[in-house]
Amino acid sequence: MSARILIVAEHDGSKLNPATAKCVSCAGALAGAEITVVVCALEAAAVAAQAARLAGVSRVLTVENPANAHPLAAVLAPQLAALAGGFTHVLGPSTTFGKDLMARLAGLLEAPQVSDIMAIESPTRFRRPIYAGNAILSVEASGAAVVVGTVRIASFETAPSGGTATIEKAAVNVALPTHTRFVSVSAARTDRPDLQTAARVVSGGRALGSAEGFKILFSLADKLGAAVGASRAAVDAGYAPNEMQVGQTGKIIAPELYVAIGISGAIQHLTGIKDARTIVAINKDGEAPIFEVADLGLVGDLFQIVPEIERLIG
Amino acid sequence: MKRILVGIKRVVDFNVRIRVKPDGSGVITDGVKMSINPFDEIALEEALRIKERGRADEVIVATVGPADTQQQLRTALAMGADRALHVQADGVVEPLVVARALLKLIEREQPFLVILGKQAIDDDNGQTGQVLAALWGRPQATYASKLELGEGSARVTREVDAGLETLDVDLPAVITTDLRLNEPRYVKLPDIMKAKKKPLDTLTLAALGVEQRQQLKLVRFETPAQRQKGIRVKDAAELVAALKQRGLL
């Protein structure tokens, strides 16, 4: 039997998150897989149209409900559980949205969940990182009626556009809980690229010394058209907000170019960047572990080097 | 009696360099330092602070794991938990099994709050809290960086990809902790002595009526591909030249 895969779209109400296109690539690795994307929203049309254009998607289901205005796992999971019948897999991105939601869905379905899928080798065989990426585990989910999974988005390319999936409204009649209520989200909207999917990322560590110190990073990032990240140490110290954290418990990223500035390279940080195509490290300590993984390393004072790089690239 | 239940897991200490066994059957844990999962320590710290503010009467710490896990339960008691529940289980215990066992403990103890770490740093699954909340039919607030208790509800600030999200959840609820919720206290020597006298009950999965089913077979452990060590450049000009040569600028 070929795989019938349901992918849960992540979106902000108007735009499909790029993580969804990576889930489509993951599902597409199974030959003959039939891929359906489900969009739960207040108004789903705009997001559904974007999902329908992803190559490999055959059908988009929309579930419109005022309760879906904000993505609450406790509210979305029962709706997805009602739709899951007949699917062999239900996948979502390994983002905070997907990690929060998919495990609740797995609980409702009492199904096994494979977290952080980095490769899908057969309908029942998956590879995933464990121990902060210091080991890779192959798991076999034989005998399960349905497998729930979160997709490690750094492991997959974005599915190209060119698809022409049909869009259908799905009727879901389940009681939704009111015990969980959205209050607010403090999204710092910037003009910079999204950290999780940016081609270039400039990241700073504790050596930046202050939130003020981070300004030289933002300046360089803007020159490069890069997103800005931070180490846990820098976030803990209050130099950068939590959404900038890169690493095992922050964001796992795979940019073309990663520039680590004043980051020593704790193993938990390296986990978040090991799929970057090229890693550049700038640090005053030549013994810092970041140099073990850097393609290009430069030992010196970042406060001199960073402005000089900016000047040199014009 | 207002109770908080905290779930903890025994894991390889976060400072240990992980090595995969040559036969691919697992990672080397013999003679390796074991600790309470760091996120679970944060969960316990939060529960203790709530009790110290007079908003709870008792903090119960629970785990599902092998006999050795009692060391971590004793550490939790030394940190300040009032009593410990050890559900003994050897081998692979999947999140669904842990959640079912915790649900049985919830039915017995009737906590108004259950706090767990957001993920264990060994298997990095990050599922147990959400699975438990689903089975229990109660709210979940994952990745918490701030927890404020109201009357019958809690306001939780969550670290999400976009920034900080705030939710209101009715109690009882399941909270999972992120790194910046608090900084766990250090255990003092007299507390270690006192902890030896605190109650630690041992149960089994069978006695709770939970089957230790394994839905995911662990087929093979491998060492990930290592990145090649790169080159050093001497200054900014050389770095920019190298990036241009590689087509990155």
Question: Which residues does chain A have within 8 Å of residue B224's beta carbon, measured at their own beta carbons?
Answer: 129, 133-136, 274
Q: Residue B226's CB: how many other CB atoms inside 10 A?
A: 9
Give the tens place of pLDDT for each residue, B73-125. 999 999 999 999 999 999 999 999 999 999 999 999 999 999 999 999 999 99
Question: Which residues does chain B have within 8 Å of residue A177's beta carbon, measured at their own beta carbons?
Answer: 137, 139
Map residue A120 onto helix, strand or coil.
Answer: strand
Determine the distance in angstroms separating the CA of A62 from the nearest CA of chain B, rounded to an integer: 23
Cα distance between residue A272 and residue A281, in whole Å: 15
Write out the DSSP string of A163-182.
---EEEEPP-------SEEE
Q: Which of residues 51-70 of B touch A (CB under 8 A)?
A: none
pLDDT of residue A248: 87
Q: Which of residues 128-187 of B touch A (CB under 8 A)?
A: 128-135, 137-143, 145, 155, 158-170, 173, 178-180
Mean per-residue pLDDT for B242-247?
95
Domain housing B177: 3-245
**pLDDT greater than 70 at residue A229:** yes
**Kind plus residue range of the DSSP H or E element containing B223:** none
B163 phi-psi bin (left φ>0, alpha ψ -120 to 50, beta other) = left
- The residues with which A40 forms a beta bridge, in sequence order, are A63
If you count residue pairs, one on A and one on B, with CB atoms under 8 Å apart, how many are there? Answer: 249
**pLDDT greater than 70 at residue A233:** yes
The CATH number of residue B158's host domain is 3.40.50.620
In chain B, the number of structural domains is 1
CA distances from A207 to A216, A230, A242, A269 (A): 12, 11, 17, 15
Identity of residue A167: I
Q: Return the ∠ at Cα A262 (arms to A257 and A268), rounded to 5°.
A: 75
Q: Which residues contact B103 (CB under 8 A, 6 or more apart)?
A: B132, B135, B136
Beta-sheet pairing, A135-140 with A4-8 = unpaired
Average pLDDT in chain B: 97
Lowest mean pLDDT among A72-86, A176-190, A198-212, A278-292: A176-190
**Kind plus residue range of the DSSP H or E element containing A242:** none
A243, A249, A312 member nearest B240 (Cβ): A312
Write out the DSSP string of A182-215.
EEEE-----SSPPTTT-SEEEEE-GGG-STTTTH
Structural domains of chain A ordered from first start: 4-169 (3.40.50.620), 200-313 (3.40.50.1220)
Q: If you measure CA to CA, which chain A residue comes closest to B164? A: A186
Q: Residue B16's CB: how many other CB atoms inside 10 A?
A: 18
Beta-sheet pairing, A119-122 with A125-130 = antiparallel
Contact B27 A135 (CB under 8 A): yes
| Among the listed residues B201, B176, B185, B203, the one whose alpha carbon sits nearest the alpha carbon of residue B75 | B185
User: At which residue do the structure tokens 């990809």 appear?
Assistant: B161
Give the tens place of pLDDT for each residue, B194-205. 999 999 999 999
Give the tens place of pLDDT for each residue, B169-218. 999 999 999 999 999 999 999 999 999 999 999 999 999 999 999 999 99
Question: Which residues does chain A have within 8 Å of residue B142's beta carbon, measured at their own beta carbons?
Answer: 73, 96, 99-100
pLDDT of residue A188: 65
Confidence of residue B226 (pLDDT cuts 50, 70, 90): confident
Pair of tokens at residue A310: 């900016």
Question: Structure pTM?
Answer: 0.95
Give the tens place of pLDDT for each residue, A153-174. 999 999 999 999 999 999 999 9
The runs of H, that is alpha helices, within B53-188 are 70-79, 95-109, 128-136
Contact A134 B133 (CB under 8 A): no
Cα distance between residue A73 and residue A240, in whole Å: 27
Determine the distance in angstroms separating the CA of B152 from the nearest CA of chain A, rounded to an integer: 11
Do B44 and B79 contact (CB within 8 A), yes or no? Answer: yes
Cα distance between residue B104 and residue B110, in whole Å: 10
- The residues with which B149 forms a beta bridge, in sequence order, are B154
Task: Tell me which of A138, A150, A180 to substitute to probe the interface with B (most B C-beta atoms closer than 10 Å).
Answer: A180
The runs of H, that is alpha helices, within A53-205 are 73-83, 96-109
Cα distance between residue B183 and residue B243, in whole Å: 41
Task: Tell me which of B130, B135, B181 to substitute to probe the interface with A (most A C-beta atoms closer than 10 Å).
Answer: B130
ipTM score above 0.85:
yes
Cα distance between residue A3 and residue A85, in whole Å: 13
Give the tens place of pLDDT for each residue, B139-173. 999 999 999 999 999 999 999 999 999 999 999 99
**pLDDT greater than 90 at residue B229:** no
Mean per-residue pLDDT for A208-237?
96
Q: Residue A15's CB: how many other CB atoms inside 10 A?
A: 11
Contact B218 A104 (CB under 8 A): no
Q: Which residues contact A114 (CB under 8 A, 6 or more apart)?
A: A126, A128, A139, A141, A147, A148, A149, A150, B216
Give the tens place of pLDDT for each residue, A84-120. 999 999 999 999 999 999 999 999 999 999 999 999 9
Contact A298 B119 (CB under 8 A): no
Give the tens place of pLDDT for each residue, A10-50. 999 999 999 999 999 999 999 999 999 999 999 999 999 99
Question: Which residues does chain A have within 8 Å of residue B146's beta carbon, measured at their own beta carbons?
Answer: none
Cα distance between residue B215 and residue B54, in whole Å: 42
Give the tens place of pLDDT for each residue, B40-69. 999 999 999 999 999 999 999 999 999 999
Do B133 and A211 contact (CB within 8 A), yes or no? Answer: no
Backbone angles phi, psi at B144, to 5 degrees: -70, 135
Map residue B124 onto helix, strand or coil.
Answer: coil
Give the tens place of pLDDT for each residue, A268-293. 999 999 999 999 999 999 999 999 99
pLDDT of residue A191: 79
Q: Which residues contact A85 (CB under 8 A, 6 or more apart)?
A: none
Beta-sheet pairing, B10-12 with B34-36 = antiparallel
pLDDT of residue B228: 85
